[in-house]
Amino acid sequence: MHLLYPRAVPDVASTLVFLAHEGAWRILYESSVTLARTLTGFAAALAAAVLLGFLYTLSPLARETIRAMNTILQSISVLIWIVVLVMLFGVLSPIPPVLVATVVALPILLSAIVSGLDNANPRLIELARMLGAPRTRLYWDFLLPSLLPQLAGAGRAALGAALRISVVAEAFGSGSGIGYMINYYYEYSMPRGVFAWGLLLVTLMILLDKVVLEKLEARIRRWATLPPR
């Protein structure tokens, strides 16, 4: 791409040199800000999905309502969420990137939980009822642990999506983060800055997925398939 469009696309060497000149402290700070916002939004989405999963088990009306809500969340464009949240909280507020990460991750996690509950092993439910478990214990001690393999895979996809989208929210309205840095150099027509921070984002996503999420998912799946002692 650099050979075809040398003015618009910098070469790899100069991009890496530019990133190195940004300094380790700035790279660490901006990356940690983006990661913190993403993880906070993901944690909020996970908590909401688990709670909605419990409500899903209460009645047919609750099931239909949660299915409809999940469909609506999946139908709303991320661009709409970003614009509305920036209008509500302001351009420099740290809240929009966090909430955007939440609304992006929530449908992915909730879909996995709902699908798992719909296909739950009836023997598990029968066992819980034989033991006299109330509805709350049925969900927390029997159903939710059985959903961990599905939830691990969905969590991996949700966290990746949240990281990608929170960066877009930072570019639209934020005073820090990787997305802000990309937009900053774009506005000043500095392609090396755009590609340098974009390369950093890609590297961060790969490391997060391969070093943390992939191993965590594999460990949960191994735990879920261990034979009883």
DSSP secondary structure letter of residue 228:
P
H helix count then E strand count, the chain: 12, 0
| Cβ partners under 8 Å of residue 151, min gap 6 | 109, 112, 113, 116
At 86-139, the pLDDT tens digits run 899 888 888 999 999 999 999 999 999 999 888 877 777 777 777 777 888 888
Contacting residues for 48 by C-beta, under 8 A, at least 6 apart:
102, 106, 110
Q: Do residues 58 and 134 lie in contact, with contact meaning Cβ atoms separated by under 8 Å?
A: no
pLDDT digits (tens, 9 = 90+) for 37-51: 999 999 999 999 999
The answer to whether 54 and 136 are in contact (CB under 8 A) is yes
* Domain residue spans of the chain: 12-224
- Output the six-digit token pair for 173: 């309205």
The SS3 call for residue 60 is: helix
Whole-model pTM over 0.85: yes
The CATH number for 12-224, chosen from 1.10.3720.10, 3.40.50.2020, 3.90.550.10, 3.40.50.620, is 1.10.3720.10
